[in-house]
Structure 1
Amino acid sequence: MSLVRIGAIATNGFREVIRDRILYLIGLFAIFMMICSRLLPEISAGTTNKILPDLGLATMTILAVIVTIFVGTGLINKEIEKKTVLTLIPKPVSRAEFIIGKHLGLAAVLAVLVASMMAIYLLILTVSGISYPIYSLLVAAFFLFLELCLIAAAGLMFGVFTSSILATLLSFAIYLIGHLSQDMVRLSNLTQNPSFEQLTNWLYLFLPNLSRLDLKNDAVYGVLPPADVLWSNALYGVVYTVLFLAIATIIFSRREF
């Protein structure tokens, strides 16, 4: 495996995503935050200091997840559907290098996206005179990036063997179930339905628990888990990302073009 070839694929992937004008969303986010900072004081009855920070983080997360799923599922699937992958297979590039390079390119775009939106978010809060826990918010942004990398890996995995539409739906399912798995387990225990309880336990066991990477609800108030829990959760996200990429590589290596 060559780091040079992976770097070249990642660079090309980064440029490809940037050319799709994905980063225009940064401008939309900035406009949305400025409008909210102006309108909320008029309608929120003095609760702007609580609503605006929560709204900003929620909007940032939604936009980033949408970009990740739609772009991630199409990165390789688009190459397969347009047959451009046929020009790469004969070259001395392994399919593992291709998968890893594509993921790293998308991860670089996501890093720029999250960093830019967080900078705008903090600037709007500062201009609005709202105090915020900078350290907690930066940690939450980093964990959002880890979550997006995990979802991107899942999108790549689905994209190598399904259509774009199905891959997108499956990726959204991973995201939703990943955030609801703990609640589903609690609900199954209350229903006392053995079949539903077994299903939710299997989903909780095999699918990533994305709530471990979601810190925004507490970080906005300056509350974070202990350092050992943070490291454990970060490692958890990295492991699942590597696992999805490994599965994507295995499936992609067995496909005939």
Structure 2
Amino acid sequence: MATKTIGRIWTIATNGFQEVIRDRIFYVIGFFALLLVVSLPLLREVAATTEDKIFMDLGLAAIGVLGVLVAIFVGTGLINKEIEKRTVLVLIPKPISRAELIIGKHLGLLGVLAVLVIAMTAIYLALLSFNGINYPLASLLISELYQFLELSLIVAVALMFGVFTSSILATLLTFGIYLMGHLSRDVQELGKLSENATIETITQGLYLILPDLSRLNLKNEAVYGLLPSSVKLLEHAVYAILYTILLLAIAILIFSRREF
């Protein structure tokens, strides 16, 4: 039984991966390479002494932004597209559970994002080496690993909204969660500074509900080779994985209650 379930999930993931590839999503890699190649000469003109650090920051930021855009715009349509095209009516009567469909779609898009992140990271490191810029390789690779964990979480958010709202609304809501996730820790601190019990309770509640994406943002530390301790890194990774599983569980619960 478990083998058949894994086989069905793998089939859905593979089909989802191929479907996204057919949408020419890998043009993102070409755009990323062009952006970095064009930006370095410009940085040397405007930042004569700090262009190396700025270029390293720019490369990591570009990988993050492009990855998030793909995760949100594609992720919100994974299930919604099946519903709008009515193909979900064909899939559900087959021996495929709704949980398998959600998990398979999530893994399929993660495969695409993994290829994107690996390709962009390889281009980024190659350009750093080609231009003689010294960089902390291990720190940068760890930073990209945590970037991938963040993308996994964002895809889960996109799927959760995509199963019960339109693609446009799901996209806006997912962007909102992404932005608030990076600000949730600051919002909590503002609540403490307000010295108002009600505001502090509200901000604390928002911090507990919203994903703390700052845990997975290691870009600034990575550039200088200053990462958190191994224990902290492990805690952040476990947090991201558990939060992603929770979001997928919510998406499955909502989707299982929908009537078609």
State the match for 1:8 in structure 2: 11
Deviations 1:56-100 (A, max 9, x none): 111111111111011111100111112111110110001110000
CA distance in 2, matches of 1:196, 1:36: 43
Cα RMSD after superposing both structures: 1.0
CA distance in 1, matches of 2:107, 2:53: 36
State the match for 2:207 in structure 1: 204
State the match for 2:108 in structure 1: 105
State the match for 2:70 in structure 1: 67
State the match for 1:162 in structure 2: 165
State the match for 2:230 in structure 1: 227
Shift of 1:192: 2.8
State the match for 1:76 in structure 2: 79
State the match for 1:246 in structure 2: 249
Deviations 1:202-228 (A, max 9, x none): 110111101111111101111111111
CA distance in 1, matches of 2:195, 2:25: 46
Shift of 1:199: 2.0
For the residue of structure 1 that corresponds to 2:77, the secondary structure is helix
Deviations 1:25-79 (A, max 9, x none): 1000000000112221122122111110011111111111111011111100111
Q: 2:216 aligns with which of 213, 217, 223?
A: 213
Using the TM superposition, name which of 38-47 and 118-127 deviates more: 38-47
TM-score (norm 2): 0.96
Using the TM superposition, name which of 95-104 and 183-192 deviates more: 183-192
State the match for 1:88 in structure 2: 91
State the match for 2:186 in structure 1: 183
The question of whether the paired residues in 2 share the 8 Å contact of 1:37 and 1:124 is answered with: no
Shift of 1:193: 3.7
For the residue of structure 1 that corresponds to 2:76, the secondary structure is helix
Q: Which residue type is aligned with residue 103 of structure 2?
A: I
The question of whether the paired residues in 2 share the 8 Å contact of 1:143 and 1:234 is answered with: yes
TM-score (norm 1): 0.98
CA distance in 1, matches of 2:254, 2:47: 51
State the match for 1:34 in structure 2: 37
Paired positions, count = 257
State the match for 2:127 in structure 1: 124
Gaps of 5+ in 1: none
Runs of 4 or more consecutive aligned structure 1 residues displaced over 6 Å after TM superposition: none
Using the TM superposition, name which of 189-198 and 229-238 deviates more: 189-198
Using the TM superposition, name which of 144-153 and 203-212 deviates more: 203-212
CA distance in 2, matches of 1:64, 1:78: 20
Deviations 1:102-147 (A, max 9, x none): 0000000010011111111101111111100000000000000000
Q: Percent identity?
A: 62
State the match for 2:26 in structure 1: 23
CA distance in 1, matches of 2:116, 2:165: 27
CA distance in 2, matches of 1:223, 1:96: 40
State the match for 1:114 in structure 2: 117
Q: Which residue type is aligned with residue 198 of structure 1?
A: T
The question of whether the paired residues in 2 share the 8 Å contact of 1:37 and 1:128 is answered with: no
CA distance in 1, matches of 2:19, 2:129: 34
Shift of 1:153: 0.5
Q: Which residue type is aligned with residue 243 of structure 1?
A: L
Gaps of 5+ in 2: none
Shift of 1:246: 0.5
